[in-house]
Amino acid sequence: MTMFHFFNCAILTFGPHAVYYSATPLSEYDTLGTSVKAALVYLGTALVKLVCLATFLQVSENDGFDPYQELLKALIGFIDVAGLYFALTQLTHRNISQNHKFQAVGLGWAFADSVLHRLAPLWVGARGLEFTWDYILQGLEANANLVLSISLAALGSLIWLRKNKPKTLIPIIYACAGIVATMPSITSYLRRGLGWHFPKVVGFELFTSLVMAFISWQLFSACQRPYV
């Protein structure tokens, strides 16, 4: 049963990425190369973040919420945004429309994030005899992360790739991008500072990811509309 449980949690964690790729027109336009490149950029970003964290962060003895440390972590988190910028703008992509570009980049980004952060604990832990809900919750978290990554990629492509945007929407775009980018800090604050349990945090992540996805979808389609 334990391999069975591992298999279940694995399809929960990685299944949606595969489903997203095959269900949307991404598979038709063969944007796998883009996704793979985005995944590699994520790996590079993760390495840079690791080095910065190791250099600047102090290890705290207790598990409490230290505002200064969290601020530092948030700042380092912006390296994520820089990485996404690099992936969206600097890499050469085949001739794919912007619509699909951000989806492919977001997908690759989220897939790399899941593999890096969730595959190892899953392999080591879910195969054991002991049963916990953690791995299922982790899988749900991966789903929320996928949605968030795609939203962030959408907003990023709006900010950096689209030159003509309606003036009124610009501050909203930046605000939403800011919120999505700081999601990790927000969740860690909830977990450490307010002491929320893992299921609650995952629920919050799912909810906000759906909300942000909806908002960015609206923004994106608003910017698509040709305006006078």
Partner 1 sequence: MVLSKNSGGHRGMQESMYSVIALVFILVACVELCDAAAAIDVYRLIQYDMSGSAYGSRFAVLNHHAAALHFPPGADLSRAVLIIPLRELNITFVREYINQKKPLGGLLFLLPDIFSFENGGNKQVHEKEKLKNLLAELEQLLIHANIPYPVYFAFENDEIDTVLADIKKNDAIGQPATATTGGYKLVIPTPEPKKVASPTITNIQGWLSGLKVDGDTNQLPTIAIVASYDTFGAAPALSVGSDSNGSGVVALLEIARLFSLLYSNPKTRGRYNLLFGLTSGGPYNYNGTQKWLRSFDQRLRESIDYAICLNSIGSWDNELWIHVSKPPENAYIKQIFEGFSNVAEELHIKVGLKHKKINISNPRVAWEHEQFSRLRVTAATLSEISTAPELLQGTGGLFDSRQFVNETAITRGVKLVAESLARHIYGHQGKNVQIFADGGSLAVNPAYIQSWLDLLSQTPRVAPFLSKNDPFVMALQKELADHTDEVNMQHEVLEGVFTFYDSTSARLNIYQVASVTFDLLLLLVLGSYLIVLFSFLVITTRGLDDLISLFRRPPSRKVKTA
Residues that bind partner 1 (CB under 8 A): 1, 4-5, 7-8, 11-12, 15-16, 19-20, 22-25, 36-37, 40, 43, 92, 120, 123-125, 127-131, 136
Of residues 43 and 190, the one with the C-beta less far from partner 1: 43
Of residues 9 and 180, the one with the C-beta less far from partner 1: 9
Closest contact distance (angstroms) between CB of 56 and partner 1 is 27
Closest contact distance (angstroms) between CB of 129 and partner 1 is 4
CA–CA gap between residue 141 and residue 188 (Å, rounded): 13
Of residues 14 and 77, the one with the C-beta less far from partner 1: 14
Of residues 58 and 92, the one with the C-beta less far from partner 1: 92
Of residues 63 and 130, the one with the C-beta less far from partner 1: 130
Closest contact distance (angstroms) between CB of 103 and partner 1 is 9
Closest contact distance (angstroms) between CB of 8 and partner 1 is 5
CA–CA gap between residue 17 and residue 32 (Å, rounded): 12
Closest contact distance (angstroms) between CB of 20 and partner 1 is 6
Closest contact distance (angstroms) between CB of 186 and partner 1 is 25
Of residues 4 and 78, the one with the C-beta less far from partner 1: 4
| Tokens coding 61 | 């003895």
